[in-house]
Amino acid sequence: MLCIDKARKILNQSQVIMTTEIAGIIFMYVLTVALAIPLGRYIGRVYEGDKTWLDKILHPLDKIFFKLSGINPAKEMNWKQHLMALLTINLVWFILSMLILMNMSWLPLNPDGNPSMPADLAFNTTVSFVSNTNLQHYSGETGVSYLGQLTLMLFQFISAATGMAACVAVFMAMKERTTENLGNFYNFFVKSCTRILLPLAIVVALILAFNGTPMNFEGKAQYISMQGDTVHVSRGPAAAMIAIKQLGTNGGGYYGPNSAHPLENPNYLTNIVENISIILIPIAMVFALGYIIKRRRFAWMVFGVMTLGFFLLLFNAVYNEMHGNPMIGQMGISQPLGSMEGKEVRFGPAASAYWEVTTTVTSNGSVNAMHDSFTPLAGMSALLGMMVNSFYGGVGVGYLNFYIFIIIAVFISGLMVGRTPEFLGKKIEAKEMKIAALIALLHPLLILAGTALASYLFAHNPSAYADWLNNPGNHGFSEMLYEFTSSSANNGSGFEGLGDNTPFWNIACGTVMLLARFLPIIGPVAIAGILAKKKYIPESAGTLKTDTNTFGVMVFAVIFIVAALSFFPALTLGPIAEFFGMK
Amino acid sequence: MSVHRRKNNLFEPKQVKEAVTQSFKKLNPVIQFRNPVMFTVWIGTLVMAFVSVWIAAGETSQGSLAYNMVITAILFITLLFANFAEAIAEARGKAQADSLRKAREDTPAKKVFSVGEIYVDEIKVIPSSQLRKGDLFVCEAGDVIAMDGEIVQGIATIDESAITGESAPVIREAGGDKSSVTGGTKVLSDRIKVKVTTEPGETFLDKMIALVEGASRQKTPNEIALTILLASFTLVFVIVCVTLKPFGDYANTPITIGAFISLFVCLIPTTIGGLLSAIGIAGMDRALRANVITKSGKAVETAGDLDTILLDKTGTITIGNRRATNFWSTDGITENEFIELATWGSLADETPEGKSIVELAASKGVSKTKEAGMTFIEFTAETRSSGVNLGNGTNIRKGAFDAIRKLVEKAGNRVPEEASDRVKLIAENGGTPLVVSKNGEVKGVIELQDIVKPGIQERFERLRKMGVKTVMVTGDNPLTAKYIAEKAGVDDFIAEAKPEDKMNYIRKEQQGGKLVAMMGDGTNDAPALAQADVGVAMNSGTQAAKEAGNMVDLDNDPTKLIEIVEIGKQLLMTRGTLTTFSIANDVAKYFAIVPALFIASIPALQGLNIMGLHSPESAILSAVIFNAIIIPLLIPLALKGVAYKPIGASALLRRNLLIYGFGGVIVPFIGIKLIDLLVSNWF
């Protein structure tokens, strides 16, 4: 009797815990949207040059930047000039970062005496940070000096701001007018840093610092644990870096285990703050779009489609994680909390799954649990989120990816209603279609070709590459697929379990990141620029409206079909086969 | 609406036979290369043929010979089906064009040679094929007109049924807007001298035939954009299938070449790829069936995008012409005296309105004839009045209120209030007032009335739902125009229109980003026809008008524009919906083929076989067979076009998304399962 009572008690307790966990993630999402709406309006005002309450403090700061660089922020640029500016400054940062990472050992701010990086790792790391990916084939505590960390932190600002500035150029092009002038790239870029990323990062960093995250320039601390072991604890400017890695959908952690590390993400409160930071700006950018092009309904349509996709992935992940691992169940072990493998007890399965989905849909890539340990279908949610890469998506670039899907959806649905396709009053013709098709192709190409190359090498010489995979079979396949998907989505999270600090992975992933970063920025900006130049056609009763539910369904269908059709066989061999194998 | 419609059987045995022959001829790789989607299937078929031979030579790793040969055969049939779709559309268009061309087989022409210094005409009979642009020939009663041309002398009744299918003869005469004749039509009475206006082989009909037969068929911008999209889908699946090989290696699952090619062919959008050109040809063919000759496929597509159409009031919105209904004399003159004046003034007026005045007068017992000493003043666009100077010096003028008022005021008189009130009253009631003056004094007003065609409101309502704005063009004064515009339900009107007004209106609309169509027949319409995005010239119109427009309406039916808009929309919709259907099909095909590929090495994947297909072989064959037979099943839809419903763009999208998108996901699940039940008897 006692035994049954006890079991019932545990069951009740676990139910309470489960309800609280679900309530926790609902609270996080609602709070995020509640913050994103006013933030979106603020972002819109910043880019439009309307007055905001931060002008007084930050206007002088912007002025210093423009004065030093000799840039006139009022000078209008066309789409080609935007892209030139974007690529040029990125090239400069690329060179700068390579120099620092390969010479860290003798440069200042290196109290722990960390070594310089070899060329292939420096290439991978540089590309990774310049491209807003933050795939880390090194561990922060031992792999970089504080100067290195500060450099990478700088990139976390500027790579995010690069994406935002490109996105704003597209916003400007979507306005109801015929023009070549899409504003000034440097103006958008500097304002993204000073008016949006910096203030938010300060708030987040303060909250983290007050909850115990280190913020100093001192070397490793040392203490002797209760067992008598000597433990070295890495310190440094962690809070600042963690704030921006979350807000800028960067994801490159200060510590190797990222936000699963107790100093990087000390408690449930910091977890909420960090998790909200992941999707706050991506969602706010959508509302900023509505403000800038003065089409609120359109912004809500975009938000609706993104949210639908996000919820589907989220539901799948949370459901599977909270129901535990069937193999463990078969061993007769009860899992009242769900699958706890690879998770931090202070967050639990629901919050870990929520983080997993938010970090993969947004190209953030920070983690608070081990993605390798998720149940197969929850792992697939992460993969799918990155394969689509536009359910909210990375700051700025998420909407750019979504824009390509819109163009394709507009084209097909325009034909379906018997009219040459028009998007916001501009005709979509062969040239735009060509660019959109190429960009839509790129993502599957990079992911599948990369994974195919790795599979080929491994399958034909398993002994030479034995240390690549920690797990054989389907799971090993998922690990390789995940690495390339993460690189191509500029996400940066790892399934881990993959021995990835080898020249093959460093160079292959670096190349993928580079292509997957800049081509999908160039494409949408080019399409938007070409469309902006075209004659504006006012709406008539025959025009297909793009701010309706019906059109939203159409966009969702296009995204689903493109993602599902391109990746279905690969997913079948990875998580799906693993799922059926576990039953 | 045209009275006559040509037969519309989808599959005439003769055409089917020709199309079957063509389907084989079109297997030529040079022709296949133009369609990237089907070209990849072509290559796939070739590879499978080699694989079959390889197996026959003893290879054992690629499955049974029968299985591979069946796949080869099905792929081959897929190609033939796609070719057949294009060929049958061409055959139908050709048959249509042939029946028109029959009329223009070599006919003897009576060519006029100018001889000597005083150009005495000498007539020699030569074959029509020797006529060149600028030559003159004569036609008498019973002759078939040898070439397209313009009447330079004479008047004749002509039977145009060979072209329009309309049996009632029409009158064509030199000068004016009814001077154009078409080769192949027959002169029923009188004698005309015709100047050839086109070189042989360059008539509209020749151009149209070339267009349908594909010799000069160019892809429209829209078709190009769609081809790009389809090519990119094809490329995605190239990537998917090629990368599957190393994936299979990793998973220790050998995948046969047959399975690879089957998966690839099933995934690429063969359905739309195979039907794409048939849809385009069928669009032009539908236009031709509506008796409209289009000069390019693009014009048909543009028609679907129209925002504004300009319609002449007369004959389009109202029945025929205005007729005189009342005489209103002013003070100091009896009604009879006024009717006499009006009749004098209209004697030389050959317009239907003028004639109707004489007729109405006759019915009231007043009839006059032309007398010596009368000088008739013709209507000009400048004076906007006409009339007569009698032998005794009396001058009578008849015209629009403004024109006569100017004339009267010039003579130092004033328009009596009674007359201007009457003018206003008539205009407010939708009539047209014509004012008559005698020696510079207004004597009365003739009332002309229009009758709006029954059912025209509904047609305009339909256009409005399509998002097309209708504009009525009329020479009437603004008040009359407004009355009729309201009665007919047009959105806007141009009153007192001069030819340049049409032009200006079109330009203004185009500057606002709108696409504009107009219909016209006169030479003075030519600039506006050229300016309009879709210019439909009446076949009876002048050569200049026909040259300027991009479509020619053989029926001379001004409401034809409405049909043309629907044909254009249908064309685009058919492409869009079949693309959606084709791609939506892939979901089911994946569920058939992907488990079949891996089930041998990963038995757990049986869970993905949600259709419960019999075996890997039967699953792959069922998918490939479904993929092949869906093409001929959809040919009727491709040829007839998806029905257009004017229910608003969003509702239309919802409807088509449901039928072709959702339907496209569901149908192949059922189809593949049914085929599998059959195929499982053997594989």
Tens digits of per-residue pLDDT, A134-158? 888 888 778 888 888 888 888 889 9
Calculate mean pLDDT across residues B366-384: 79
Which residues of A, range 334-363, sit inside 8 Å of B by Cβ? none
Name which of B639, B526, B593 is nearest B288 in CA terms. B639
| Chain B residues closer than 8 Å to A437 by CB | 228-229, 231-232
By the CB < 8 Å criterion, does A377 face chain B?
Answer: no
Segment A235-249, tens digit of pLDDT: 888 899 999 999 999
The whole domain housing A480 covers 20-582
The whole-number pLDDT of residue A6 equals 72
The answer to whether residue B30 is domain-embedded is: yes
Cross-strand partners of B518? B310, B535
By the CB < 8 Å criterion, does B554 face chain A?
Answer: no
The answer to whether residue B136 is domain-embedded is: yes
pLDDT > 80? residue B596: yes
By the CB < 8 Å criterion, does B115 face chain A?
Answer: no
By Cβ distance, the residue of A412, A569, A583 closest to B240 is A569
The whole-number pLDDT of residue B163 equals 65
| Chain A residues closer than 8 Å to B660 by CB | 416
* ipTM given for this complex: 0.89
Domain CATH code at residue B522: 3.40.50.1000
- The rounded distance, in Å, linking the Cα atoms of A185 and A79 is 9
Residue of A nearest to B465 (CA): A541
CB contact under 8 A, A542 and B649: yes
User: Are A528 and A403 spatial neighbours (Cβ–Cβ below 8 Å)?
Assistant: yes
CB contact under 8 A, B580 and A412: yes
Mean pLDDT estimate for chain A = 90
The whole-number pLDDT of residue B5 equals 45
Percentage of the residues of chain B whose pLDDT score is greater than 70: 92
- The rounded distance, in Å, linking the Cα atoms of A401 and A392 is 10
Calculate mean pLDDT across residues B625-634: 95
**DSSP structural state of residue B657:** I
Percentage of the residues of chain A whose pLDDT score is greater than 70: 99
If you count residue pairs, one on A and one on B, with CB atoms under 8 Å apart, how many are there?
213
Calculate mean pLDDT across residues A565-582: 91
In a shared domain, residues B360 and B376: yes
Mutation for B interface: A177, A301, A419, A445, most B CBs within 10 A: A419
**Sheet strand arrangement including B395-399:** B323-329, B441-449, B432-438, B395-399, B385-389, B375-377
Residue that finishes a domain, picked among B202, B228, B247: B202
The whole-number pLDDT of residue B119 equals 59
Name which of A519, A514, A509 is nearest A481 in CA terms. A509
The whole-number pLDDT of residue B125 equals 83
By Cβ distance, the residue of B221, B657, B661 closest to A430 is B221
Domain CATH code at residue B136: 2.70.150.10
Nearest-CA distance B682 → chain A (Å)? 27
In a shared domain, residues B403 and B348: yes
Calculate mean pLDDT across residues B646-670: 92
What H or E segment, with its residue span, contains residue B120?
strand B120-127
- The rounded distance, in Å, linking the Cα atoms of B375 and B373 is 6
- The rounded distance, in Å, linking the Cα atoms of B631 and B83 is 10
User: Are B173 and B533 spatial neighbours (Cβ–Cβ below 8 Å)?
Assistant: no
Which residues of B, range 244-263, sit inside 8 Å of A by Cβ? 244-247, 249-252
Q: How confident is the model at residue B1 (pLDDT cuts 50, 70, 90)?
A: very low
Percentage of the residues of chain B whose pLDDT score is greater than 90: 23
In a shared domain, residues B33 and B20: yes
Catalytic residue among B135, B206, B285, B312: B312
By the CB < 8 Å criterion, does B362 face chain A?
Answer: no
By the CB < 8 Å criterion, does B228 face chain A?
Answer: yes
- The rounded distance, in Å, linking the Cα atoms of B527 and A78 is 37
- The rounded distance, in Å, linking the Cα atoms of B423 and B479 is 10
CB contact under 8 A, A580 and B657: no
Residue that finishes a domain, picked among B202, B224, B255: B202
**DSSP structural state of residue A573:** I
Nearest-CA distance A467 → chain B (Å)? 15
The answer to whether residue A209 is domain-embedded is: yes
In a shared domain, residues B29 and B69: yes
The whole-number pLDDT of residue B349 equals 79
CB contact under 8 A, B604 and A577: yes
Q: Convert B581-604 to b/e letters by CB count within 10 Å (16 or more is b).
A: bbbbbbbbbbbbbbbbbbbeebeb
Segment of A466-470, B49-53, B175-179, B401-405 carrying the highest mean pLDDT: B49-53
- The rounded distance, in Å, linking the Cα atoms of A279 and A36 is 9
The answer to whether residue A9 is domain-embedded is: no
Q: Is-catalytic flag, B190?
A: no
pLDDT > 50? residue B597: yes
Q: How confident is the model at residue A571 (pLDDT cuts 50, 70, 90)?
A: very high
User: Are A451 and A468 spatial neighbours (Cβ–Cβ below 8 Å)?
Assistant: no
The whole-number pLDDT of residue A11 equals 66
Cβ neighbours around A503 below 10 Å, total: 13
| A186: Cα separation from own chain's centroid | 23
Segment A77-119, tens digit of pLDDT: 999 999 999 999 999 999 999 999 999 888 888 888 888 998 8
pLDDT > 90? residue B60: no
User: Are A513 and A135 spatial neighbours (Cβ–Cβ below 8 Å)?
Assistant: yes
Q: How confident is the model at residue A33 (pLDDT cuts 50, 70, 90)?
A: very high
- The rounded distance, in Å, linking the Cα atoms of A377 and A496 is 17
pLDDT > 80? residue B363: yes
Residue of B nearest to A557 (CA): B661
The answer to whether residue A483 is domain-embedded is: yes
CB contact under 8 A, B246 and A452: yes
- Classify residue A41 by burial, with Cβ atoms within 10 Å: 0-12, 13-18, 19+: middle
The whole domain housing B336 covers 323-449
The whole-number pLDDT of residue B209 equals 66
What sign for the dihedral angle of Cα B630, B633, B639, B645?
negative
- The rounded distance, in Å, linking the Cα atoms of A43 and A36 is 10
The answer to whether residue A2 is domain-embedded is: no
Nearest-CA distance A558 → chain B (Å)? 10
The total number of structural domains in chain B stands at 4
Percentage of the residues of chain A whose pLDDT score is greater than 90: 55
The answer to whether residue A164 is domain-embedded is: yes
List C-alpha distances in Å: B511 to A428, A535, B42, B205, B495: 19, 9, 47, 33, 21
Segment A312-368, tens digit of pLDDT: 999 999 999 988 888 888 888 888 888 888 898 889 899 999 999 999 999 898 999
By the CB < 8 Å criterion, does A570 face chain B?
Answer: yes
| Chain A residues closer than 8 Å to B469 by CB | 540
Q: Which residues contact A500 (CB under 8 A, 6 or more apart)?
A: A137, A483, A494, A506, A509
pLDDT > 60? residue B235: yes
In a shared domain, residues B478 and B491: yes
In a shared domain, residues B501 and B461: yes
CB contact under 8 A, A420 and B222: yes
Which residues of A, range 415-444, sit inside 8 Å of B by Cβ? 415-420, 425, 428-430, 433-434, 437-438, 440-441, 444
The whole-number pLDDT of residue B162 equals 66
The answer to whether residue B102 is domain-embedded is: no
What H or E segment, with its residue span, contains residue B23?
helix B13-25
- The rounded distance, in Å, linking the Cα atoms of B473 and B28 is 52
| Chain A residues closer than 8 Å to B586 by CB | 561, 565
In a shared domain, residues B279 and B300: no
Q: How confident is the model at residue A176 (pLDDT cuts 50, 70, 90)?
A: confident
In a shared domain, residues B242 and B365: no
CB contact under 8 A, A540 and B231: no
Cβ neighbours around A400 below 10 Å, total: 26
Calculate mean pLDDT across residues A484-505: 85
Cβ neighbours around B264 below 10 Å, total: 21
The answer to whether residue A222 is domain-embedded is: yes
By Cβ distance, the residue of B242, B569, B654 closest to A418 is B569
The whole-number pLDDT of residue B2 equals 38
Calculate mean pLDDT across residues A442-451: 95
Which runs of E-coded beta strand occur in A116-236? 221-224, 230-233
pLDDT > 50? residue B614: yes
- Classify residue A70 by burial, with Cβ atoms within 10 Å: 0-12, 13-18, 19+: exposed
CB contact under 8 A, A581 and B580: no
User: Are B199 and B226 spatial neighbours (Cβ–Cβ below 8 Å)?
Assistant: no
Least reliable range by pLDDT among A257-271, A465-479, B118-132, B478-492: B118-132
pTM over cut 0.90: no
Segment B260-311, tens digit of pLDDT: 999 999 999 999 999 988 998 888 888 888 888 887 778 888 888 888 988 8
Least reliable range by pLDDT among A202-216, A421-435, A567-581, B476-490: B476-490
In a shared domain, residues B391 and B539: no
- The rounded distance, in Å, linking the Cα atoms of A505 and A520 is 22
By Cβ distance, the residue of A412, A428, A452 closest to B576 is A412
Segment B160-217, tens digit of pLDDT: 776 665 666 777 888 777 788 877 788 887 888 888 887 777 766 666 666 666 645 6
By Cβ distance, the residue of A412, A459, A548 closest to B650 is A548
pLDDT > 90? residue A61: no
Radius of gyration of chain A (CA): 24
In a shared domain, residues B549 and B460: yes
Mutation for B interface: A471, A512, A553, A573, most B CBs within 10 A: A573
In a shared domain, residues B91 and B214: yes
User: Phi and psi of A423, rounded to 5°?
Assistant: -125, 115
The residue ranking higher by pLDDT, B377 or A480, is A480
Write down the H helix ranges in A70-118. Answer: 79-103
The answer to whether residue B384 is domain-embedded is: yes
The answer to whether residue A4 is domain-embedded is: no
The total number of structural domains in chain A stands at 1
Residue that finishes a domain, picked among B181, B202, B223: B202
The answer to whether residue A133 is domain-embedded is: yes
CB contact under 8 A, B221 and A429: yes
> Collapsing DSSP states into helix, strand and coil, what is residue B683?
coil
The whole-number pLDDT of residue B213 equals 64
List C-alpha distances in Å: B678 to A35, A350, B590, B596, B667: 59, 48, 20, 17, 17
Name which of B398, B435, B393 is nearest B415 in CA terms. B435
Render A324-381 in DSSP notation, one character per residue.
--HHHHHTT---TT---TTB-TTTHHHHHHHHHHHHHHTT----SB-GGGS-HHHHHH
By the CB < 8 Å criterion, does A485 face chain B?
Answer: no
